[in-house]
């Protein structure tokens, strides 16, 4: 087990990509802290399953990733319990789709706080811990929208371009500390975040649900297939391996060829 004895925090991990990454880490022996909102019983079921898989304690944090103090408290709890984290994945995110003149300012603020600022605060909190250990893995779920743009997603595209910039900057700052910093940029992955933006896209573009799926979402991906959460998780796991120690500051696409166009 390549992560035995390591601990990880994965934000936004009660479903979708984050949960898949948490499962991949647990399968390799890591103690995992999951984070996010949802049904309490369902979250406990997932936490217990992670613990059984890892053979190490799994934790759940309900930290609000828009609250810097809550982020620091989550890191302290992980440090007190495990001595870590050794690995973080900045994955929490939300989306809103609308032309800029109709874009609600409160939605803009939420997207920037959760998709971008939370990653900055969590990274800031864990770097001293990783420096002391001389080992660490900082990963972020970016998006194909960290490399390209789509209409009606101004806040999200801003945030994901910011994640790519944060990744490169911190990679340079910790380059000699045994810490790597990378982001993964999936195309469209069938997750609640993607499914929930379909109604807004239908409204913004005057399309049916089927047209949004086939003519908007999958139109961008030459493979004409959704990326799976498990594919993203497999890449995240590889980046935690010692063999990946020279991969840092990278933005790795996993998008069915979207950004090759």
Q: For residue 236, what are the CA distances in angstroms to 8, 86, 194, 204?
A: 12, 14, 20, 33
Q: Kindly state whether residue 213 falls inside one of the protein's structural domains.
A: no
The range of the structural domain enclosing residue 157 comes to 7-188+228-254
Q: Which CATH number goes with the domain that contains 36?
A: 3.40.50.720
Q: Which residue matches tokens 């743009």?
A: 149
Q: Kindly state whether residue 221 falls inside one of the protein's structural domains.
A: no
Q: Please tell me the pTM assigned to this model.
A: 0.94
Taking the C-alpha atoms of residue 91 and residue 244, their distance in angstroms, rounded to an integer, is 20
Over the stretch 210-246, which tens digit does the pLDDT of each residue have?
999 988 889 889 999 999 999 999 999 999 999 999 9
pLDDT confidence of residue 217: 86
Could you confirm whether 121 is annotated as catalytic?
no
pLDDT confidence of residue 200: 85
Q: Kindly state whether residue 98 falls inside one of the protein's structural domains.
A: yes
Catalytically annotated residue among 60, 108, 121, 156: 156
pLDDT < 70 stretches in the chain = none
Q: Kindly state whether residue 199 falls inside one of the protein's structural domains.
A: no
**Would you tell me how many other CB atoms lie within 10 Å of the CB of residue 59?**
19
Name the E strands within 82-200. Answer: 87-90, 136-141, 179-186
Q: Kindly state whether residue 198 falls inside one of the protein's structural domains.
A: no
How many domains does one find in the chain? 1
* 188, 229 contact by CB (below 8 A): no
pLDDT confidence of residue 216: 85
Q: Kindly state whether residue 76 falls inside one of the protein's structural domains.
A: yes
Q: Kindly state whether residue 13 falls inside one of the protein's structural domains.
A: yes
pLDDT confidence of residue 194: 81
Across 178-200, b (16+ Cβ under 10 Å) vs e yields ebbbbbbbbbbbebebbeebbeb
Q: Kindly state whether residue 201 falls inside one of the protein's structural domains.
A: no
């Amino acid at each position: 087990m390549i992560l035995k004895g390591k601990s990880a925090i994965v934000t936004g991990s009660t479903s979708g990509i984050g949960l898949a990454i948490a499962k991949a880490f647990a399968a390799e022996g890591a103690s995992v802290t999951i984070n996010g909102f949802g049904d309490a019983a369902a979250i406990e079921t997932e936490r217990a399953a992670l613990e059984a898989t890892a053979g190490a304690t799994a934790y759940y944090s309900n930290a609000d990733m828009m609250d810097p103090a809550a982020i620091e408290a989550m890191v302290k709890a992980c440090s007190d319990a495990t001595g870590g984290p050794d690995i973080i994945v900045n994955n929490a995110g939300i989306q809103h789709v609308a032309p800029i003149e109709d874009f609600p300012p409160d939605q803009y603020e939420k997207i920037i706080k959760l998709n971008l600022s939370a990653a900055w605060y969590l990274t800031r909190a864990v770097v001293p811990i990783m420096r002391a250990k001389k080992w660490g893995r900082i990963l972020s779920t970016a998006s194909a929208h960290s490399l390209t743009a789509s209409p009606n997603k101004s806040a999200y595209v801003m945030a994901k371009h910011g994640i790519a910039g944060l990744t490169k900057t911190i990679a340079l700052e910790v380059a000699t500390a045994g810490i790597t910093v990378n982001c993964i940029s999936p195309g469209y992955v069938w997750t609640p975040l993607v499914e929930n933006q379909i109604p807004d896209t239908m409204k913004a573009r005057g399309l049916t649900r089927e047209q949004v799926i086939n003519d908007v979402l999958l139109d961008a991906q030459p493979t004409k297939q959704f990326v799976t959460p498990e594919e993203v998780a497999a890449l995240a796991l590889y980046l935690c391996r010692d063999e990946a120690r020279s991969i840092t500051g990278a933005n790795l696409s996993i998008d069915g060829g979207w950004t090759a166009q």
